[in-house]
Structure 1
Amino acid sequence: MTDSSSSDSKNKRELTLRFLAEPGDVNFGGKVHGGAVMKWIDLAAYACSAAWSGKYCITAYAGGIRFVAPILVGHLVEVSAKVVYTGRTSMHIAIDVQASNPRTQDKRLTTHCIVIMVAVDELGKPSSVPEWVPTTPEDIELRESAIRLMKMREQIGEEMEAHVKAFKTKS
C-alpha cells in the first residue's frame, strides 16, 4: 500500500492508496469480492479525513456504492479519496476505485461512492473540522452535489423510518 497525496493549504484534501489485488481478495467467481473493495474504500476515507482534520475519524455513512467493473487478481488497485464537503464535524469524501493490469496500465473505473466521516475527540465525541471552501468550478459542483445527496439521504431516512414503523406494527 502506498499513499500519494496533494495538499490544499496546510490540510491534505485528497490522497490515493494503492493495493495489489491478492488471491485472498477473490470470491468464488474469481473476481475481487465487494467486501475487500469496501474495506479499501473505508481505509482511504479514514486516511483522507484524518489528514484533512488532523483528528481520529469514524465512518458515519457509506452510500451510493456503484460497482462498475470487476477487479481481477494481480490488478493494481488505486483508491482515490477527496474531501468534497465539510460540515461542523463531518467530512464528505468522494471515492473512486480504479484498477489496471500492471503490465498494460489500462486503468479503468471499477467503483464509486461517497463516505461521510466524523472527527472525534479523545472521548469519542464529535469534534470540529476545518472548513473546506471550493474555489474552482469543478469543486463548487462537487460541493453542490454533496449537498443534494445529503438532502436525498434525509428523505430516504424518513421513508425508512416509516417502513420500519409499518413493519413493527405488522409483527
Structure 2
Amino acid sequence: MNAPQRDITLRFLAEPQDVNFGGKVHGGAVMKWIDLAAYACAAGWSGRYCVTAYAGGIRFVAPIHVGSLVEVEAKVIYTGNSSIHIALEVNACDPKSLNRRLTTHCIVIMVAVDQNGQSERVPQWQPQTEADKKQHESAVKLMEMRKQIGEEMQIFVD
C-alpha cells in the first residue's frame, strides 16, 4: 500500500467566468477552489471519499486578477478519528513574472465517509518537524476556539 499523501497543490489560471462585479476573482470561486483542494488532500491522505465538515478562518488578503496563475496549497495539520484538518493557502501571480503573493488562507475540516455517509477511520498523522508541531498545536487550539464559538452561535439557531 502507498503511504498517505500529506499535501497537494492545485495550479490553474483564473478565468473570465470567475470575475465578480468589481473585476476581480469572486470570493465564492476562491472558496470553491479551496474546497476542491481540501477534498483532494483529504482523499489522498485517507484513501477514502471525504466531505466538508467545516471551513473557517477564511481571510481574503489580496485580490486575484483574471489571467493570474493560481496555486491552492493544502496540507494535513491534524487528524481525529475520522476528521482531517487541513491548512490551505492560495497564492497568485502574473504567469509572466511568477512573483507569487498570498491572497487567501484558511482551515478546512474534512470527514471520511462510507457509501452510506457514515464516518470512517482515517490514518493518524504525527507531526515530525518543529513547524509540524506548531501547526498541530495551533489546530488543537482552533478546535477549542470553534467549540466556544459554536456555543455562542446557538443563539442564532432555532
What CA RMSD, in Å, does the superposition of the two structures yield over aligned residues? Answer: 1.0
Structure with the greater alpha carbon radius of gyration: 1
TM-score (norm. length: structure 1): 0.90
Equivalent residue in structure 1 for 2:7, among 1, 14, 34: 14
> Does 2:91 correspond to 1:82?
no
**Cα separation, 1, equivalents of 2:40 and 2:56:** 18
Q: What SS does the aligned partner of 1:12 have?
A: coil
Q: 2:29 aligns with which of 25, 31, 36?
A: 36
TM-score scaled to structure 2, two decimals? 0.97
Name stretches of at least 5 consecutive residues in structure 1 with no aligned partner.
Answer: 1-8
Matched, 1:95 2:88: yes
Q: CA deviation at 1:164?
A: 2.7
Q: Percent identical across equivalent pairs?
A: 67
In 1, Cα distance between the equivalents of 2:116 and 2:66?
41
Structure 1 runs (4+) greater than 6 angstroms displaced:
none
Query: For each residue in 1:96-134, what CA deviation from the matched residue of structure 2 results, as whole angstroms up to 9, or x when unmatched?
Result: 000000001110000000000000012110000000000
Q: Which has the bigger relative contact order, CA under 8 A and spacing at least 6? A: 2
More strand by share: 1
For 2:66 and 2:153, locate their aligned partners in 1 and report how far apart those are by CA, in whole Å. Answer: 37
Deviations 1:140-161 (A, max 9, x none): 0000000000000000000111
Give the paired residue count.
157
